[in-house]
């Protein structure tokens, strides 16, 4: 059972860990009556809760199962079956395994190594902390990150983390400080990181218990949302509203880019949804230079207009000769 699948059966029944068998039975009967399917017909949540209550009672009402559950926590079912994935049974005697979060943690202490992984699968989760420059020397407080080992073999000990950056940090580049147990490292994120970018930090992963060599860290980039810019594939995209007269007559408008606003010429008759390309104003490229920025046009009809504006719009409607829906007249199923 994975750590995330662990259920606190005492919490499920609402009793303390020192509860007597009678107290456990009374709590079970009370909850079973409340969530029984006959009392809650068609209620899927009540049905799931009822199954959970039965599962908890099945374990805590059995002295032997309860003793193993108390001692080994989420791994109580694996007692006598060896380590995860099978193997020869191991007699733990009176050893209190509950002080460890997993069998891997138990192995880590036996081997006395940093991090840790199952000898069979090489998979393990690691916790690191990171910060960006806010304090002396350009660094502030730490933020926790969870790293998942991506290894599939006994000698592979690489780890991966998801790191969240602002658009500004990703565009300009940023230095992050990570805390790996008792070790602190500085990592420079180069300009131009995009969603899904994987950055490799050599030799800063966990130590393999077989080769005694350290693997690598991989940082997978996520970008926090921005009120104006966004990514569509590899393109930096924005949406700019224009007025109906600008769409009809054309105009010169100011459009924000990562470097600041630039003047863009709108062609007469531009359509809503049409994209204009600003070459060299997009995202930094891995081999140098910049990509393009796409500007999506959105014609914004004004909601509040003056009497004079309304008068002119009515005059335009009276003399308008075009019908943008003329091609729809014969459409039918």
- The pLDDT tens digits of the residues spanning 148-187 come to 444 444 455 788 888 889 999 999 999 988 777 788 888 8
Locus of tokens 């840790």: 116
Entry pTM: 0.53
Q: How far apart are CA 237 and CA 256, in angstroms?
A: 11
Cβ contact 295:240 at 8 Å:
yes
- Residues of the chain above pLDDT 70, percent: 74
Residue intervals of the chain classified under CATH 2.60.260.20 are 125-223, 230-326
pLDDT tier at 105 (50, 70, 90 boundaries)?
Answer: low
Residue intervals of the chain classified under CATH 1.10.287.110 are 3-99
Enclosing H/E stretch for 296:
strand 293-299
Q: At residue 48, what are phi and psi to the nearest 5 degrees?
A: -65, -40
CATH architecture for residues 125-223: Sandwich (2.60)
Full strand arrangement of the beta sheet holding 235-242: 230-232, 235-242, 293-299, 275-278
* The CATH homologous superfamily of the domain defined by 230-326: Urease metallochaperone UreE, N-terminal domain (2.60.260.20)
Q: Hey, what are 127's tokens?
A: 């916790």
Pairing, β 174-180 against β 183-189: antiparallel
**3 state SS of 148:** strand
Per-residue pLDDT at 135? 35
Per-residue pLDDT at 101? 52
Per-residue pLDDT at 254? 96
Q: How far apart are CA 107 and CA 87, in angstroms?
A: 15
Q: pLDDT at residue 317 above 90?
A: yes
Per-residue pLDDT at 75? 65
Within 13 A of 189's CA, how many CA atoms are on the CB side? Answer: 31
Q: pLDDT at residue 312 above 70?
A: yes
> How does DSSP classify residue 136?
G
> How does DSSP classify residue 8?
-
- How crowded is residue 42: how many other Cβ atoms within 10 Å of its Cβ? 7
Q: Hey, what are 173's tokens?
A: 């580049």
Q: How far apart are CA 25 and CA 9, in angstroms?
A: 13
**3 state SS of 121:** coil
Per-residue pLDDT at 237? 96
Q: At residue 148, what are phi and psi to the nearest 5 degrees?
A: -110, 125
Q: pLDDT at residue 325 above 50?
A: yes
Per-residue pLDDT at 171? 95
Rounded mean pLDDT, 118-147: 40
Q: Cα angle at 8 between 66 and 85, to 5 degrees?
A: 75
Rounded mean pLDDT, 266-282: 95
Between 87 and 165, the higher pLDDT residue: 165
Q: At residue 313, what are phi and psi to the nearest 5 degrees?
A: -65, -40
- How crowded is residue 97: how many other Cβ atoms within 10 Å of its Cβ? 18
Ranked by mean pLDDT, which of 74-78, 117-121, 136-140, 204-208 comes out on top? 204-208
Cβ contact 66:59 at 8 Å:
yes
**For 7-54, what is each residue's pLDDT tens digit?**
889 999 999 989 999 999 999 999 988 998 888 888 989 889 999 999
Per-residue pLDDT at 126? 42
> Looking at the domain that runs over 3-99, which CATH code has it been given?
1.10.287.110
Per-residue pLDDT at 274? 95
Cβ contact 56:13 at 8 Å:
yes
- Cα end-to-end span (Å), the chain: 55
Between 199 and 123, the higher pLDDT residue: 199
């Amino acid at each position: 059972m994975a750590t995330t699948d662990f259920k606190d059966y005492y919490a499920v029944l609402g009793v303390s860990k020192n509860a007597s068998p009678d107290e456990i039975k009374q709590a079970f009967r009370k909850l079973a009556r409340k969530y029984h399917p006959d009392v809650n017909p068609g209620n899927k949540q009540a049905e799931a809760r009822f199954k959970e209550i039965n599962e908890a009672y099945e374990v805590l009402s059995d002295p032997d199962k309860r003793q193993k559950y108390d001692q080994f926590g989420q791994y109580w079912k694996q007692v006598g079956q060896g380590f995860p994935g099978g193997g020869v049974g191991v007699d733990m005697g009176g050893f209190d395994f509950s002080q460890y979060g997993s069998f891997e943690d138990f192995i880590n202490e036996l081997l006395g190594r940093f991090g840790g992984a199952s000898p069979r699968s090489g998979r393990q989760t690691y916790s690191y902390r990171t910060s960006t420059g806010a304090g002396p020397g350009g660094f502030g407080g730490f933020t926790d990150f969870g790293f998942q080992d991506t290894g599939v073999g006994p000698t592979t000990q690489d780890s991966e983390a998801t790191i969240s950056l602002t658009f500004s940090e990703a565009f300009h580049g940023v230095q992050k400080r990570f805390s790996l147990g008792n070790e602190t490292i500085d990592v420079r994120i180069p300009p131009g990181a995009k969603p899904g970018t994987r950055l490799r930090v050599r030799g800063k992963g966990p130590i393999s218990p077989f080769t005694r060599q350290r693997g690598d860290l991989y940082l997978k980039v996520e970008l926090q949302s921005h009120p104006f810019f966004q990514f569509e594939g590899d393109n930096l995209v924005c949406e700019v509203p224009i007025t109906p007269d600008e769409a009809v007559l054309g105009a010169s408008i100011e459009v924000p880019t990562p470097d600041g606003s630039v003047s863009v010429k709108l062609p007469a008759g531009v359509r809503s949804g049409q994209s204009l390309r600003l070459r060299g104003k997009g995202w930094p490229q891995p081999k140098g230079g910049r990509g393009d920025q796409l500007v999506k046009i959105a014609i914004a009809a004004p909601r509040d207009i003056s009497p004079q504006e309304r008068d002119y719009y009515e005059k335009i409607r009276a003399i308008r000769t075009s019908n943008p829906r003329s091609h729809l007249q014969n459409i039918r199923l």
